[in-house]
Amino acid sequence: MKTKLSNGLADPVKINRGGVRLNHQKTTNFSEKLAALSPKKVYIPLNMHIGAECKPTVKVSDQVKVGQLIADSEAFVSSPIHASISGIIKSIQIADINHSGSTTQIIEIESDGKMTPYENLTVPQINSREDFLLEVRKSGLVGLGGAGFPTSVKLTLEDNEVDILIANGAECEPYITVDDYKMRFCNEDILDAMRAIMKWLGIPNGIIAIEDNKMEAANILLKKLNQEPQKYADIKIVIMNSVYPKGMEKLVIYNTTGRIVPGGKLPKDVGCVVMNTTSLAELGKYLRTGMPLVNKSITVAGSAVSNPQNVDVPIGSLISDLLAFAGLKDKPDLVMMGGPMMGIALSSLENPVLKQNNAILAMLRNEFQLANESNCIRCAKCIDVCPMQLQPTSLVRAIKKNQIEQAKNDGLLTCMECGSCDYICPAKIPLVQYLRFGKKQK
């Protein structure tokens, strides 16, 4: 079924194969003003991003204000961390978040209840590409779609290396509506950030990629573009059909430009840089106000939640506080960070919200399905849905026989763990779990 597009919206150039149609479950309400969580305490881990862990720049019992730098790193691949509430540093301790097997330093801040912004924050003055990249670094921005890759590193590009900036507003995971919210209500920040990136990095084209279940957001953006056609001449909107996992970086690039990112390569190798719309909105806000990334809009939803909504959450707030704020109907059986297809199940609610989190879902037992492995019947549904054109059943067969080499030859490392094969499997085999296991083997 094809959505009729209004003038100015573009069809995808190519459509990837595979994927699954999911029940979108985007039940959160949209109101322009988000409810804000004001926690008594926040616990800010210093390894939220991909790259080097930050070192604290504050000491226990220091006074901090919102937006003040509390941790930074000398390393290139890293991202500074700022206080998300005003108050006093209670402790700096080492802990393992969600039993991930690796420990990190965690700064605990006790709120003074005032949320005073840090007075030394100024609106960035940018005169050159170097200034721009420095400001992006200072904003503490990381890939907010979930990857947590430092934005300043992503945008450090060579001259003419990239000719297309893609704003990824696909948001293909069910339940999550953060990007949708940002596109509806923070679209000026998104467009400003796109224009700034295109200007300072010399990228001639901009594309906003949106799934057709968010036509309202697309039309709002289109209206904005049409109001000032001169200013936004280089930006166009591409409407993709909403088939999970359309929002994956490689698929967004393929759908909007027809370019194929080779296995093991980066988007910039085919001249693209992809940024999540929420990241762009935060960058736009930083360029406008100078306030670094201290708050995150989080979709709180799932059958255990009484009021599914997007909440403005200071980074480091405890998930238990956030769930209490949105209200719980019943004790949840499964709580996850992120969407239901790729989200990480939490072992404890006493975990902090991270920079790159975009959803906290609390589900009752009847809302999610656990794997219950039986014999593979070779129905080949997993092959049909794999957007990476792999044969999950054959890969898992090889992994089970410990033929890792064989699996890798057949493209095991191309797997993005999107979960489509696992979702569709009638034998209820935990394919993704096997594939993850295989990818970790030598």
Partner 1 sequence: MSAKTPEQNHLIIASSPHLRCHRTTTSVMGNVLIALLPIVIATAFIYGCRVLLSVAVASITAILAEFLIQKAMKRKQTIQDLSCIVTAVILVLNLPLDFPFWQLIVGTIFAIVVVKAAFGGLGQNFANPAVTTRIVLVSAFASSFAKNSEPLARALHLSNSVMDSSSSATVLVLLKAGTDSNELCTLRDLFFGIQRTTAIGETCAIAILLGGLYLLFRKIIKWYIPISYIGTVAVLSFLFGGFSIQFMLYHLFSGGLLFSAFFMATDYTTSPLTNKGKFIFGIGLGILTSIIRFWSNLPEGVSFAILTMNILTPHIDRFTKEKPFGTEFNKQTDL
Q: Is 377 in the site for partner 1 (CB under 8 A)?
A: yes
Q: Which helix H or strand E contains 274, and what residues bound it?
A: strand 272-276
| Structure-token pair, residue 83 | 């206080």
CB-based contact 166:273 (threshold 8 Å) = yes
Q: How far is CA 20 from CA 106, 380, 396, 427, in A?
A: 39, 14, 20, 17
Quick one: DSSP state of residue 117?
A: B
If one counts every other C-beta atom within 10 angstroms of the C-beta of residue 377, the result is 11
Q: For partner 1, which residue of 50, 368, 403, 439 counts as binding (CB under 8 A)?
A: 368
Quick one: DSSP state of residue 124?
A: -
Q: Is 11 in the site for partner 1 (CB under 8 A)?
A: no
Q: What are phi and psi of 417, to 5 degrees?
A: 60, 35
Q: Would you list the DSSP string of 295-363?
A: EEEEEEESTTBSS-EEEEEETT-BHHHHHHHH-BSS--SEEEES-TTTPEEPS-S--BPPTT--EEEEE
Q: Is 341 in the site for partner 1 (CB under 8 A)?
A: yes
- Taking the least distance from each CB to partner 1, the nearer of 169 and 352 is 352
Site for partner 1 in 169-208 (CB under 8 A): 174, 205
If one counts every other C-beta atom within 10 angstroms of the C-beta of residue 397, the result is 16
- Taking the least distance from each CB to partner 1, the nearer of 101 and 119 is 101
Q: For partner 1, which residue of 224, 344, 403, 439 counts as binding (CB under 8 A)?
A: 344
- Stretch of residues binding partner 1 (CB under 8 A), selected from 79-87, 208-216, 281-289, 331-339: 331-339
Give min distance, CB of 411 to partner 1, in A. Answer: 3
Q: Which helix H or strand E contains 283, and what residues bound it?
A: helix 277-289
Q: Is 393 in the site for partner 1 (CB under 8 A)?
A: yes
Q: For partner 1, which residue of 332, 356, 404, 438 counts as binding (CB under 8 A)?
A: 332
Q: Is 282 in the site for partner 1 (CB under 8 A)?
A: no
Tell me the C-alpha distance between 414 and 189, whole Å.
34
Q: Can you list the positions of beta strands (E) in 12-78?
A: 35-36, 41-45, 55-56, 63-64, 69-72
- Taking the least distance from each CB to partner 1, the nearer of 291 and 388 is 388
- Stretch of residues binding partner 1 (CB under 8 A), selected from 49-57, 153-161, 293-301, 387-395: 387-395
- Taking the least distance from each CB to partner 1, the nearer of 100 and 226 is 100
Tell me the C-alpha distance between 292 and 285, whole Å.
8
Q: For partner 1, which residue of 51, 117, 202, 430 counts as binding (CB under 8 A)?
A: 430
Q: Is 335 in the site for partner 1 (CB under 8 A)?
A: yes
Using CB under 8 A as the criterion, what x/- string covers residues 233-252 for binding partner 1? -----------------x--
Q: Is 340 in the site for partner 1 (CB under 8 A)?
A: yes
> Cis omega (within 30 of 0) on the bond before 245?
yes
Q: For partner 1, which residue of 8, 51, 117, 271 counts as binding (CB under 8 A)?
A: 271
Site for partner 1 in 34-73 (CB under 8 A): 43
- Taking the least distance from each CB to partner 1, the nearer of 31 and 409 is 409
Taken as a whole, the chain contains a residue count of: 442
Tell me the C-alpha distance between 397 and 383, whole Å.
13
Q: Is 75 in the site for partner 1 (CB under 8 A)?
A: no
The 272-276 sheet, strands edge to edge: 9-10, 235-240, 205-211, 164-169, 272-276
Q: For partner 1, which residue of 390, 396, 398, 399 counts as binding (CB under 8 A)?
A: 390
Q: Is 157 in the site for partner 1 (CB under 8 A)?
A: no
- Taking the least distance from each CB to partner 1, the nearer of 63 and 409 is 409
Q: For partner 1, which residue of 114, 199, 223, 436 counts as binding (CB under 8 A)?
A: 436
- Stretch of residues binding partner 1 (CB under 8 A), selected from 124-132, 147-155, 210-218, 367-375: 367-375
Q: Is 405 in the site for partner 1 (CB under 8 A)?
A: no
